[in-house]
Structure 1
Amino acid sequence: MGGNPELRAVMSDLGLTRAGLARMVNHELVTLGCPGTLTVRTVATWLSGQSRWPQGRIRTALERALKRTPEQLGFVPPRTAQPRSPREEPVLRRNFLAASAAAALPSSAVSRSHSVGHTDVDRLRESLKALTALDDHRGGHGSLEGAALAGADQALGQVDRTISDSVQRRLYSLAADYTATAGFSCIDDRRLDSAERHFEAALRLVGLGNDHVTAMRAFNCLSMVGYQRGSPSATLSAARAAQESRATRRDPLLASLGHARAAIAHSTAGDRQTALRCLGHARDALGRADSRERPAWTDFYGSAELFALSAVVHQHLAESAESESASHRALAGIPAQFRRNRASATARLALAQLGQGEVEQATATATGVYTLMGADPLPPRLRTLLGDFHRGLITLAPGAAATREWTDRIHARGETPWR
């Protein structure tokens, strides 16, 4: 006699053990006014195929617990089952009619009649990957923030329909990841108060989901918020929290990112020695990173992005030549799909060249930012970076031909990079 792969698949998707399923069915039996006498051994006979058709009220309780008909759970009724159980026929008929009606509805409506399982969480996570790819290409904006918050609401809206602690934790974790994505979009959009609120909400959710990776992400991004606000103490405090999170102890790649963020924090405070030491730790940790599966938001980080962050550190330390070298190495390695990051590294390169008095080369490089971003509007964070370049340019060489050409070009585009 063969096993029951359908029941096994449903249990796996819902994160149910044999004991967990027995408890659920017994709960339904008590609700029906019957003793809860189902044992783990009986569940084992279902999975092995030894028992092909649950009997009487147990079958009804199983249907109610998993919200699926026995046939959907891989059971095969004996030919004599219906005459022997006339009192069960109305229940089975109602379930059959409900299943037939559900088959004609959209898949989202069908999912509402079922308990939420790992497959449902996987589908929601695929949508998050699409938002992350959009952010990588275009940068943060209001529509992306709204879509991310809608995804978080959708994940939280399914928590009450779970019957597994592991699925529930994954939903909380996913909601935290969506919320952090909304926060990161706000950083790019220079709406720092909104970003801070989203990351604080994400940190509350990661506790429910026991998600140390997203916690590290939230602290890493809060350090970015502090940096954008021009607050060295807030930048450093959040960077230390990211650096010391449990996720960085488990994953060298995340440890590397935490060290790099700390390096930026120390450089903004003027602590050159500590900043360079953190960069060294970041390089060492990245050398130990493996190819394990990670959330989509981490895909941007690797050796090229570490060079880009190193360029920021050297810029703060007034080491323009080193910043230029790091920017060139970053642009040689940042993949094309990370267009926003390439544009940011290009702007940093222009600043480094300007810091060395290379006015014509710097303006040509800065113009490349607009070429990279094409017809899409510049994210405000990138526009602020170009504003720093613009102010430095007119301070260093107000009467130079390259300065006039730069100014005429951005005015012709209707751009105002200084913000």
Structure 2
Amino acid sequence: MKRRNFVGGIAAAVAMASTARGTARRRLGMSDVDRLQQRFAEIVASDHRHGGQLDIEQRASALADQALNLQNSGGATQRVRSSLYASAAAFRSSAMWASIDGRRFEAAKTHMREAQALAEMSGEQAIKFRIWSHAGTLYRHTGRPADAFAANDVARNMHLTRRDPLFASLGLARQGAIHGAAQDPAGARRAFGQAQDAMLRADPADDRPVWMLAFYDQAELDSLALSAYLALGDFATAEFHGHRCLSTLRPHMVRSHAITTTRLAHAQLAQGMPEAATATALKVPVDAATQHVRVTRMLQEFGAALRATAAGSSAVQTWAEHVATWRTPA
């Protein structure tokens, strides 16, 4: 029996080697990378529409595996191989972000480790920046500000941030959000001021990756400032940034619109404006309110705070009636 297994194993190995020789004749090129980049753009677009969904995480993970499998399907130049590793890292970082956005933090950590390894093999600065910047966000959301600062500093200290002020601006804006979570108002103000200055220096004509072009602008800077000042309890400043974010937010940023609107409602309620806050919260689309984990949780917290601070008011009744419609079958 052992001998038959041994011989069978040799036969299988020979067959695999023969298959590998057959597939090795294929020559990989930048057209293969371009096809993956198109799929990556689709993942980014899905994230901005829906955000945090498990299917986005799973699709991104599968595409990361596809990029890696492509590495083994034929010969390629070093440039093509590096680009394929960068594509795999990009997909894995999108899976990581979907996990963070969906509050699946253990899965996010697994994706982070794999993305970091792939990014190192690619040698591409932009994707390294994205992954370490996301790592800072992961640690911020899990209540680990020291680790958040350390991870974000890795991104901020890359040569890329000295070459392109827009990357520097994003790193500083996320640093400001971490200062907010760490209850450091002076640090937050300083970081956001520097982020704004860097954004004004950035040349919009510079070539940047699709994920950067798709989301980082003045609206995103204001969104991060809204989050920071809300955490700091500076509700008037938070409201200012919330309104400014919504006034410039691009239409495809559906998920961001729902999150910003919900945070703005919190800022208004904390200033003793239950009617205005409720009117703002009512603008959150039902699908985001019921299907996006972060938005759902924030709206639940909004409802609890509204009942605690404005008991017996018409705003409480209006909100209760609105929430009831979410559970009514269409």
TM-score above 0.5, yes or no: yes
Give the AA of the match of 1:119. Answer: S
Higher-Rg structure is: 1
Q: State the alpha-carbon separation in 2 of the partners of residues 112 and 284 from structure 1.
A: 51
Q: State the alpha-carbon separation in 2 of the partners of residues 412 and 308 from structure 1.
A: 29
| TM-superposed deviation, 1:164 | 0.5
- Which residues in structure 2 correspond to 1:73-92 (within 5 Å)? none
| TM-superposed deviation, 1:222 | 1.4
Q: Which has the higher contact order (CA 8 A, sep 6+)?
A: 2
- Which residues in structure 2 correspond to 1:15-164 (within 5 Å)? 114-160=26-72, 161-164=74-77
Instruction: Provide the residue aligned with 1:312 in structure 2.
Output: 227
| TM-superposed deviation, 1:135 | 0.7
Instruction: Provide the residue aligned with 2:183 in structure 1.
Output: 270
Among candidates 126, 146, 162, match of residue 233 of structure 1: 146
Instruction: Provide the residue aligned with 2:253 in structure 1.
Output: 338
Structure 1 stretches of 5 or more lacking a match?
A: 1-66, 68-110
Distance 1:385 1:330, change over 3 A: same
Q: State the alpha-carbon separation in 1 of the partners of residues 261 and 49 from structure 2.
A: 15
Which deviates more, 332-341 or 139-148? 139-148
| TM-superposed deviation, 1:113 | 6.0
- Which residues in structure 2 correspond to 1:351-366 (within 5 Å)? 351-366=266-281
The 8 Å contact of residues 257 and 282 in structure 1, kept in 2 or not, is answered as yes
Instruction: Provide the residue aligned with 1:288 in structure 2.
Output: 201
Provide Cα deviations, 1:103-160, integer angstroms capped at 9, x if missing partner. xxxxxxxx99631101111111101101110111111211111111111111111113
The 8 Å contact of residues 290 and 326 in structure 2, kept in 1 or not, is answered as no
- Partner SS state of residue 148, structure 2: helix
The 8 Å contact of residues 188 and 382 in structure 1, kept in 2 or not, is answered as no
Provide Cα deviations, 1:342-386, integer angstroms capped at 9, x if missing partner. 111111111111111110110111111125x47x84311222222
Provide Cα deviations, 1:283-318, integer angstroms capped at 9, x if missing partner. 011111122222222121101111111111221221
What is the CA RMSD across the aligned residues, in angstroms? 2.1
The 8 Å contact of residues 251 and 289 in structure 1, kept in 2 or not, is answered as yes
- Partner SS state of residue 399, structure 1: coil
Percentage of identical aligned residues: 34
Q: State the alpha-carbon separation in 2 of the partners of residues 123 and 335 from structure 1.
A: 26
Instruction: Provide the residue aligned with 2:192 in structure 1.
Output: 279
Instruction: Provide the residue aligned with 1:350 in structure 2.
Output: 265
- Please list every run of at least 4 consecutive aligned residues from structure 1 whose deviation after the TM superposition is greater than 6 angstroms: none
- Partner SS state of residue 136, structure 1: helix
Give the AA of the match of 1:324. Answer: E
Provide Cα deviations, 1:156-191, integer angstroms capped at 9, x if missing partner. 111132320110000000100000001111112110
Q: State the alpha-carbon separation in 1 of the partners of residues 150 and 296 from structure 2.
A: 26
